[in-house]
């Protein structure tokens, strides 16, 4: 069996480009939007009061200059970037094992909702049976979306350990082939096409100037490691963002300790980010030449960022999607880095909105 270290060495920009060529007929080229209002808000120093209780208490707040470019994967098929990885993984599976075997056995995965819908869509499109293990507390719209593509849903507990146990039970009965939600070479390459696309769109908008930074959410790490793989031979810096609630910032803590955190049990409102970083994903994210840092934000900061996107951009996003923007708005350490390295010119920062699968009821509950 090929080790995660060996697989990580094969994760190259060329592998992401090959993935894009394969999935392009099946996915949307999502918009790259700008918002001068959010540029202004993020470029305004935080109040001294907001730094009380942080390592920056009593210091002059940073004055970074941001120009945002929002990659709207909330407008991707099924409402999230996960469609990219699911289509790529399933198409490669059919290439490797043959269409007859894959259709006979079917595929299985576990997911809180976005990968669930993505694999269900890919399987429906390519006429493959799909079994999806979902936590019973998944958002109702994600459950309905998954079911609408004809997948068979099996409910489980909310932690990755509980989900994986149910997957093993179903596999024993059906012999279905596992398509992991994030810890997989082909999934990572598919998610990395988000970076390929946004760089091309950025160049169309601003010309030959290099993008300064990209920040993505980190749950299992498929999106972040894929985007970092694409940008690994470029000057663009890649960062990750997580919720801090109930230890959901496993990637950040793991980087600080120098060792991957294997288990996470959290009910953060960013439900797509409740899983630990995968083994292969960790090999990429823990490489400082590929990912320069991972930051974490509170539930209140996630909600504040979500409100701004709803009210100022008129864009529907789920909580997981805005953790990167929340870092730019509230993490004083990150903001100081932008100020110091960007100087008077500031940074052009691409923020990946990973998904928009929420409901009116869920939004009302958050803000009611």
The pLDDT tens digits of the residues spanning 208-260 come to 889 999 999 999 999 999 999 999 999 999 999 999 999 999 999 999 999 99
- Report phi then psi at 67, rounded to 5: -125, 110
Confidence class for position 113, pLDDT limits 50, 70, 90: confident
Question: Is pLDDT of 187 > 80?
Answer: yes
Q: CATH code at 95?
A: 3.40.50.1100
* Domain shared by 129 and 216, yes or no: no
Instruction: Measure the CA–CA gap between 23 and 88, rounded to whole angstroms.
Output: 6
Enzyme catalytic residues: 82, 112
How far is C-alpha 324 from the chain's CA centre? Answer: 10
Q: What mean pLDDT comes out for the span 33-43? A: 98
Q: Averaged over 121-129, what is the pLDDT?
A: 97
Q: CA–CA separation, 230 vs 44, rounded Å?
A: 31
The mean per-residue pLDDT over the stretch 139-156 comes to 91
Co-location of 290 and 362 in the same domain: yes
Domain end position, chosen among 163, 178, 193? 178
Same domain, 227 and 148: no
User: Is residue 142 assigned to a domain?
Assistant: yes
**pLDDT per residue as tens digits for the range 61-86:** 999 999 999 999 999 999 999 999 99
Place of tokens 């960022």: 305
Q: What's the token pair of residue 324? A: 């990167």
The answer to whether 11 and 185 have CB atoms below 8 angstroms apart is: yes
Sign of the dihedral through C-alpha 166, 172, 174, 178: positive
Q: Are residues 64 and 84 in the same domain?
A: no
Would you say the pTM of this structure is higher than 0.75? yes
Average of per-residue pLDDT across 184-202: 98
Are 30 and 87 found together in one domain? no
Confidence of residue 364 (pLDDT cuts 50, 70, 90): very high
Other beta carbons less than 10 A from residue 2's beta carbon: 10
Output 140 or 230, whichever has higher pLDDT. Answer: 230
High-pLDDT (> 70) share of the chain, %: 100
CB 72 within 8 A of CB 30: yes
Residues spanned by the domain of 121: 80-178
pLDDT at residue 137 in the model: 85
Q: Which helix (H) or strand (E) holds 72?
A: strand 66-72
- Structure confidence at residue 283 (pLDDT): 97
Q: Encode pLDDT of 86-111 as tens digits.
A: 999 999 999 999 999 999 999 999 98
To the nearest 10°, the Cα dihedral for 42, 242, 193, 214? Answer: 30
Same domain for 84 and 15, yes or no, is no
Q: What is the rounded average pLDDT for all residues in the chain?
A: 95
pLDDT for the residue numbered 112? 78
Label residue 186 by pLDDT band (50, 70, 90).
Answer: very high
Q: Is 26 part of a structural domain of the chain?
A: yes
Residue 45: pLDDT over 90? yes
State residue 138's pLDDT score: 85
Mean pLDDT of 325-349: 97
Number of folded domains that form the chain: 2
């Amino acid at each position: 069996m090929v080790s995660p270290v060996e697989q990580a060495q094969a994760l190259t920009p060329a592998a992401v480009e090959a993935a894009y060529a394969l999935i392009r007929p099946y996915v949307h080229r999502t918009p790259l939007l700008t918002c001068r209002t959010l540029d202004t808000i993020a470029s305004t120093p935080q109040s001294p009061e907001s730094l009380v209780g942080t390592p920056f208490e009593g210091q002059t707040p940073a004055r970074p200059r941001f120009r945002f470019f929002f990659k709207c994967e909330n407008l991707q098929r099924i409402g999230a970037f996960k469609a990219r990885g699911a289509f790529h993984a399933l198409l490669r599976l059919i290439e490797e094992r043959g269409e007859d075997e894959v259709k006979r056995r079917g595929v299985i995965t576990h997911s809180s909702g976005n990968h669930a819908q993505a694999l269900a869509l890919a399987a429906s499109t390519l006429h493959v049976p799909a079994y999806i293990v979902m936590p019973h507390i998944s958002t109702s719209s994600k459950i309905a979306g998954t079911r609408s593509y004809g997948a068979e849903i099996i409910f489980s507990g909310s932690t990755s350990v509980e989900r994986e146990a149910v997957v093993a039970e179903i596999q024993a009965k059906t012999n279905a082939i596992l398509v992991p939600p994030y810890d997989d070479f082909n999934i990572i390459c598919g998610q990395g096409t988000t970076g390929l696309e946004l760089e091309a769109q950025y160049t169309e908008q601003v010309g030959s100037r290099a993008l300064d930074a990209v920040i993505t959410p980190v749950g299992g790490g498929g999106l972040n490691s894929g985007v970092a793989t694409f940008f690994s031979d470029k000057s663009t810096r890649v960062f990750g963002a997580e919720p801090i609630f109930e230890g959901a910032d496993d990637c950040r803590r793991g980087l600080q300790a120098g060792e991957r955190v294997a288990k996470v049990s959290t009910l953060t409102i960013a439900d797509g980010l409740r899983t630990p970083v995968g083994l292969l994903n960790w090999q990429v994210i823990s490489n400082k030449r590929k990912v320069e840092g991972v930051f974490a934000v509170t539930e209140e900061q996630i909600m504040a960022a979500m409100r701004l996107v709803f009210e100022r951009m008129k864009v529907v996003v789920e909580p997981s999607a805005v953790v990167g923007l929340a870092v730019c708005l509230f993490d004083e350490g990150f903001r100081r880095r932008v100020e110091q390295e960007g100087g008077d010119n500031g940074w052009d920062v691409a923020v990946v909105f990973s998904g928009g699968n929420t409901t009116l009821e869920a939004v009302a509950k958050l803000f009611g």
